Amino acid sequence: MRIATWNVNSITARLPRLLSWLESSGTDVLCLQEAKIAEEQFPFDQLRELGYEAAVHATGRWNGVAVLSRVGIEDVAKGLPGDPGYEGVTEPRAISATCGPVRVWSVYVPNGREVDHPHYAYKLQWFEALRAAVAGDASGSRPFAVLGDYNVAPTDDDVYDTAAFEGATHVTPAERDALAALRGAGLNDVVPRPLKYEHPYTYWDYRQLCFPKNRGMRIDLVYGNEPFAKAVEDAYVDREERKGKGASDHAPVVVDVAV
C-alpha cells in the first residue's frame, strides 16, 4: 500500500499536476495540506474519475486539509479535538480517516510566524492538542500515521544551513520538544535518512533560487505507530515533482507499507 503526504499550496493552482502525479505514482492514499479552497469547490469529480474518494476539511482561501483514497474512506473526523483556535477562529488544519487497514491523519501545523508572535504560542498549543488527540490511536494495534506539513525541522541536519535560521521559527527548542512529545505518544519518524539524497528536504522557498541551490528544509513528515513503522518497506521524497513550472514549494513524501 502506497501512502503519501503533499502540501500542494493550492489545489486549484496544482490540480493538473496533482491528477498527473496520482496517475503516475501509484499512490493509494494521499494526505493533502494547504488546499486553499472551499469544500464545495473541491475537485471531487475529477478525483473520482481516477478512482479516488476524498474527505475534505476546508473553508476557503487559507489552510485546508484532505485525505484522498482509492481503498475506501471511513470514520472521517474533521478538526482537532481541543483545538485552541487562533484569534477566535478554529482553522481547518486536521482531518482523519480510515483507509483500508490503515488510519491516517492529514495535518497542517501552524507556521508560527515569529518566535515573539502570538501565532508561535498558538503553534505550540496546537501541537499539544494534536498529541492528546492522537495518543489513543498511536498506542493501538492498528497501523496508524500522522502525515503532513509539521512546519518544524526535527534536527539541524534537516535544514540547509543552521545559521540561516538563527532566531527563527521551525528550528527552536520548544518546537522540537513538541515533536518529541508527539513521538512520546507512541509515534516514530518512519522516513529514514539518508534516502536517495544526502539531505532529503521536502520544502524549498520559491525565492532566491532556493530549489536549484538545494536550500531546503525537511518539514513534511510521516509519523507512524509501531505497527505502521514495522510495515514500512520503502520511503522517499519525490523531488522531481518540485521541478518545473507550476510546482508547489513542497515535494510529496511517499511511504510504502506492507499492510
149 marked ligand binding residue = yes
> Cα separation of 189 and 255, whole Å?
11
Q: Would you call 167 helix, strand, or coil by DSSP? A: coil
250 marked ligand binding residue = yes
Annotated active-site residue in 52, 223, 250, 256: 250
Annotated active-site residue in 28, 52, 57, 108: 108
34 marked ligand binding residue = yes
Q: Is 108 a catalytic residue?
A: yes
> 102 Cβ partners below 8 Å, 6+ apart?
1, 3, 29, 142, 143, 144, 145, 228, 257, 259
83 marked ligand binding residue = no
Annotated active-site residue in 137, 149, 220, 256: 149
* Distances, alpha carbon 159 to alpha carbons 27, 183, 190, 255, in Å: 27, 20, 18, 21
Q: Is 75 a catalytic residue?
A: no
What interhelical angle do 173-184 and 118-138 show, nearest 10? 10
Q: Is 199 a catalytic residue?
A: no
Among all residues, which ones are annotated catalytic? 108, 149, 250
User: Would you list which residues are annotated within the binding site?
Assistant: 7, 34, 149, 151, 249-250
User: Would you list which residues are annotated within the binding site for Mg(2+)?
Assistant: 7, 34, 149, 151, 249-250
